């Protein structure tokens, strides 16, 4: 047997036993119904003997079909076709000989007139001479069983490929999440430490201590938290607030944050760290380049089975072109890729500009159930 069998030996034996005994039973019932409708005499022994002699050899030979398929399943169909044609002829010939042999043995029990007084050799010669058309039905059975096995093999390969694809997508999403977490460290950490240093030089020790505490809390939540792909929106908003608290100290409270969070959306599951990269882009490439107070508005709303998220800022321009060296567009690009991995085409992500100033990032995706 092949090292990677389609089914276990036990399963194959059980399925075969059920199929062929069921066919024997159905054939007996069909013969009984036919004899009753025609008014003929029905002999259960004769019918049982004939059906056992016909179906049980197929039961045995079905293992030959399975074994043959296992040995040739890695060969593409046009090239393997001649092998199956030859196998089908062998199968039909063996079935005829086994059926005749079994009928000859059973003839003494049920008294079949064609086989009662014949030797095994005579029965074979007679069957090959007169009963060879029966081989046609055996050939049909061979191809039906082969197509069933092929169909099961194709379905199994499809399922395995689907599962493997899900695993790869999960690994990719996990890798992107880890990358996203690592990207939070360099420039943000550098700016935060510079701000702390500035506060200390200006003898604003209390503010410096608060910022160190906030930075420690944020990094702990970000880097040591669970790597779940989906988290409640309330948890995501809490992480964003820790990030914004530090940024507001850096920009001397020149960033105003407005939350318009629909209460029913707070427990909706969203991709982990879906908001932080967008808000970071808004500050780094937008609000940090403007004079005066800027505004960030975070809005959430549930519509049917979908969650709508909007992140708006009053920056005049948001650089979304990918530039890895300067960090431009990486967060947005990762966000779009993660949404594609998690929701396929069942999501939307768009960036729009509003007059006179303002950039709005809109996302929509289905609300997935929380997995406990």
pLDDT digits (tens, 9 = 90+) for 131-190: 666 678 888 888 988 888 888 888 888 887 777 766 656 655 565 555 555 555 566 677
CB neighbour list of residue 174: distance below 8 Å, 6 or more residues apart:
227, 229
| pLDDT for position 327 | 46
Residues of the chain with pLDDT under 70: 1-4, 106-134, 165-188, 221-228, 253, 285-292, 315-331, 370-372
| pLDDT for position 205 | 77
CB atoms within 10 A of CB 14: 12
Angle at 120 between CA 114 and CA 125, to 5 degrees: 75
| pLDDT for position 299 | 95
| pLDDT for position 225 | 54
| pLDDT for position 234 | 93
| pLDDT for position 326 | 47
Model pLDDT for residues 92-101, shown as the tens digit of each residue: 888 888 887 8
Angle, in degrees to the nearest 10, between helices 134-183 and 44-72: 40
Using a 10 angstrom Cβ sphere, with 0-12 exposed, 13-18 middle and 19 or more buried, the burial of residue 264 is: exposed
Complete domains list, the chain, with CATH? 9-163 (no CATH), 226-366 (3.30.565.10)
| pLDDT for position 301 | 94
Select from 89, 87, 56, 57 the least CA-distant residue to 69.
Answer: 87
pTM of the model: 0.50
CB neighbour list of residue 42: distance below 8 Å, 6 or more residues apart:
31, 32, 35, 36
Three-state DSSP class for residue 189: helix
CB neighbour list of residue 254: distance below 8 Å, 6 or more residues apart:
248, 287, 292, 293, 294
């Amino acid at each position: 047997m092949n090292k990677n069998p389609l089914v276990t030996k036990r399963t194959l034996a059980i399925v075969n036993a059920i199929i062929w005994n069921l066919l024997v039973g159905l054939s007996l019932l069909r013969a009984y119904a036919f004899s009753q409708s025609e008014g003929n005499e029905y002999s259960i022994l004769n019918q049982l003997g004939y059906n056992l002699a016909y179906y049980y050899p197929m039961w045995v030979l079905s293992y030959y079909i399975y074994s043959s398929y296992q040995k040739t399943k890695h060969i593409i169909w046009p090239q393997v076709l001649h092998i199956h044609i030859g196998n089908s002829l062998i199968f039909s010939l063996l079935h005829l000989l086994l059926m005749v042999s079994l009928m000859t043995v059973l003839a003494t029990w049920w008294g079949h007139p064609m086989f009662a007084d014949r030797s095994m050799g005579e029965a074979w010669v007679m069957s090959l001479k007169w009963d060879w058309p029966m081989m046609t039905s055996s050939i049909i059975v061979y191809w039906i069983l082969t197509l069933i096995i092929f169909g099961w093999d194709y379905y199994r390969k499809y399922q395995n490929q689907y599962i493997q694809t899900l695993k790869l997508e999960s690994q990719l999403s996990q890798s992107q999440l880890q990358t996203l977490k690592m990207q939070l460290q360099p420039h943000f950490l550098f700016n935060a430490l510079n701000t702390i240093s500035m506060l200390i030089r200006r003898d604003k020790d209390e503010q410096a201590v608060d910022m160190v505490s906030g930075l420690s809390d944020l990094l702990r939540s970000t880097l040591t938290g669970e790597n779940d792909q989906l988290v409640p929106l309330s948890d995501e908003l809490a992480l964003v607030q820790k990030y914004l608290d530090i940024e507001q100290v850096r920009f001397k409270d020149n960033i105003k944050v407005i939350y318009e969070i629909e209460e029913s959306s707070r427990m909706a599951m969203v991709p982990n760290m879906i908001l932080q990269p967008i808000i970071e882009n808004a500050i780094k490439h937008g609000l940090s380049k403007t004079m005066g107070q800027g505004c960030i508005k975070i809005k959430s709303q549930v519509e049917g089975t979908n969650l709508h998220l909007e992140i708006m800022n009053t920056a005049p321009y948001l650089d979304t072109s990918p530039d890895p060296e300067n960090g431009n567009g990486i967060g947005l690009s990762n966000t779009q890729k993660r949404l594609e991995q998690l929701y396929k085409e069942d999501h939307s992500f768009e960036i729009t500009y509003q007059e006179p100033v303002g950039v709005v990032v809109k996302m929509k995706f289905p609300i997935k159930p929380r997995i406990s």
